[in-house]
Amino acid sequence: MSQAVTGSTMLRRQIGRKLEALRKAAGLTMEQAAEDLERARATLYRIESGAENVRFRAADVKEMLSLYGASAEDSELLLAMTAATRENKNWWHDYIGSGLPKWFQLYVGLEASASSIRQYQAELVPGLLQTRAYAEQLFLMPSGAIDADDRDGQERSIQLRVERQALLTRFSAPRLSVIVNEAVLRRPVGNATIMAEQLHQILKAAELPNVTVRVLEFSAGLHAGAMAGAFSILEFPMDSNGKEGEPPVAYLESATGAIYLDKPHETTAYNTIWADMTSRALNESRSKALIQQVAEEYSRV
């Protein structure tokens, strides 16, 4: 992991978006905010656009957060994110001891601004397709991300996961393409009732015009995803000039952190892996038939 936080525009753009949203929520134009902060409008524009040459001094960030009336939670988050731009460390988010709220993942912000999301899951139903009951089972497991005794943290995480699903039905929703290993369907999470409900939820989501779900059967044999593990590839809308507003990102998550890869050779590698799995997975129709079959098997238990 050689990519430094300070060398990537991704984090800065996320910071810029959040500060812009707070400013607008406070009812301030860029001109008004710049005057109150005694900053040039051009400086505020560079901050909100994620310019590489902006230095986020803690005192300046606190002043902005105070002016915008940011909540304690938003303030904690943005102070931690801006601090990361000043530290020479790899681009990854450590869930514990990072200063960020434990339930927060930078990925959620990227997901919300993506125009296309491709996900491969080997073991679990992707978060955007999970039922609440299924998610509750996952947060009972000792993953390391959230303390097993932190009931409030678990509930916030579950609620966030459920709320994220509105992304799929919003105006200008992203395209979601999912490939799951057959093990995702057949490994029981909770009881048979939970699994039947979960598989029917996948089928319901797959009826949306922007969602596709395909299954990699066990009989597909060895595939590139077996070596890579679970991952997501996010692509973002073009800007007003028809240019790439933000580079594609490959996202990999573990129990203690997450890696964001946006160098061309990195995303090309994951596109190649995706293409291999696409060539081996069942088509949409046959995938739905298999999911329905397994759901009926759970319903008979």
Query: Which residues, other chains included, contact 276 with Cβ-Cβ below 8 Å and sequence gap of 6+?
Result: 223, 224, 225
Domain end (from 89, 123, 152): 89
The one-letter code for the residue type at 22 is L
Domain annotation covers residue 110: yes
Of 89, 122, 153, the residue at which a domain comes to its end is 89
Is 128 in the same domain as 236? yes
Q: Which pLDDT score, from 0 to 100, does residue 277 have?
A: 97
Residue 95 lies in a domain: no
Mean pLDDT of all residues in 241-265 = 80
Q: Mean pLDDT, the chain, as a whole number?
A: 84
Q: Which residues pair with 249 in a beta bridge?
A: 234
Does 79 share its domain with 190? no
Amino acid identity at 87: E
- Look at residue 100 and tell me if it is in a domain: no
Residue 270 half-sphere exposure toward CB, CA atoms < 13 A: 24
Kindly state whether residues 140 and 77 are assigned to the same domain: no
**C-alpha dist (Å) from residue 67 to 22, 27, 273:** 10, 11, 47
Residues 60 and 116 in one domain: no
Cα 50 from Cα 165, distance rounded (Å): 27
Residue 74 included in any domain:
yes
Mean pLDDT over 202-222 rounds to: 96
CA dist 284 and 151 (Å) reads 38
Task: Give CA separation, 38 vs 18, 43, 65, 106, in Å.
Answer: 20, 10, 14, 30
Q: Is residue 194 part of a domain?
A: yes
Backbone angles phi, psi at 86, to 5 degrees: -100, -5
HSE of 230 in the Cβ direction (CA atoms, 13 Å)?
Answer: 16
Q: Are 84 and 93 in contact (CB under 8 A)?
A: no
Distances (CA, A) of 68 to 28, 47, 79: 8, 15, 14
Domain harbouring 33, CATH code: 1.10.260.40
Structure tokens at 44: 């505020």
- Percent of the chain past pLDDT 90, that is, above it, reads 52
Q: Say if CB 185 and CB 290 are below 8 A apart.
A: yes
pLDDT tens track for 179-191: 999 999 999 999 9
Residues 236 and 246 sit within 8 Å (Cβ to Cβ)? yes
* Whether residue 146 is found in the same domain as residue 190: yes
Q: Are residues 133 and 213 in the same domain?
A: yes
Please check the confidence at residue 103 and state whether its pLDDT lies above 50: no
Do residues 84 and 132 both lie within one domain? Answer: no
Question: Does 25 lie in the same domain as 134?
Answer: no
Predicted TM-score of the model (pTM): 0.72
Residue 98 lies in a domain: no
154 and 21: one domain? no
CATH number at residue 272: 3.30.870
Most confident of 22-36, 84-98, 131-145: 22-36
Of 36, 62, 89, which one is at a domain's C-terminal end? 89
Query: Does position 254 have pLDDT exceeding 60, yes or no?
Result: yes
Domain that holds residue 248: 106-299
14-36 pLDDT, tens digit per residue, is 788 889 989 999 999 999 999 99
Radius of gyration of the chain (CA): 21
The CB-side HSE value for 124 (13 A sphere, CA atoms) comes to: 17
The tens digit of pLDDT for each residue in 143-168 reads: 645 455 556 666 777 777 778 888 89
In a domain, 85, yes or no: yes
Same domain for 237 and 135? yes
What's the pLDDT tens digit per position in 255-278? 666 788 888 899 999 999 999 999
268 and 132 housed in the same domain: yes
Helices (H), the chain: 9-25, 30-37, 41-49, 58-67, 72-85, 106-113, 132-138, 151-164, 182-186, 192-205, 224-228, 264-280, 284-299
Higher pLDDT, 57 or 144: 57
**Tokens, residue 300:** 């008979």
Q: Are residues 14 and 113 in the same domain?
A: no
How buried is residue 229: exposed, middle or buried, by Cβ count under 10 Å (0-12/13-18/19+)?
middle
Domain count for the chain, please give it.
2
